[in-house]
């Protein structure tokens, strides 16, 4: 597996993980409004923080890929 494929796979996994964390945070927030909890370990705010961190990594990976493409001369 080449480095480009690995970076692409990691980027996609992080992106998917961010949206899963966002979905869980929204579900947890709705459950908390109803007086219930789904995840006792992490609250909705902590899940949002995880989602943001994952998206920051995805943005960094995408910027790196753009820089590499520009170095090769392919716009």
pLDDT at 42: 74
For the segment 13-54, what is each residue's pLDDT rounded down to a tens digit? 999 999 999 999 999 889 888 988 888 777 778 888 999 999
Average pLDDT on 45-67 reads 91
Using a 10 angstrom Cβ sphere, with 0-12 exposed, 13-18 middle and 19 or more buried, the burial of residue 18 is buried
Using a 10 angstrom Cβ sphere, with 0-12 exposed, 13-18 middle and 19 or more buried, the burial of residue 50 is middle
> What global pTM score does this model have?
0.79
pLDDT at 2: 87
- Are 31 and 57 in contact by the 8 Å Cβ rule? The answer is no
For 49, the token pair is 């923080």
């Amino acid at each position: 597996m080449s480095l480009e494929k690995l970076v692409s796979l990691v980027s996609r996994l992080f992106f998917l993980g961010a949206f899963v964390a966002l979905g869980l945070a929204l579900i947890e927030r709705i459950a908390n409004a109803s007086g219930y909890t789904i995840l006792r370990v992490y609250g909705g705010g902590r899940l949002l923080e995880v989602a943001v961190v994952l998206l920051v990594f995805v943005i960094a990976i995408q910027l790196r890929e753009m820089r590499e493409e520009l170095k090769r001369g392919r716009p």
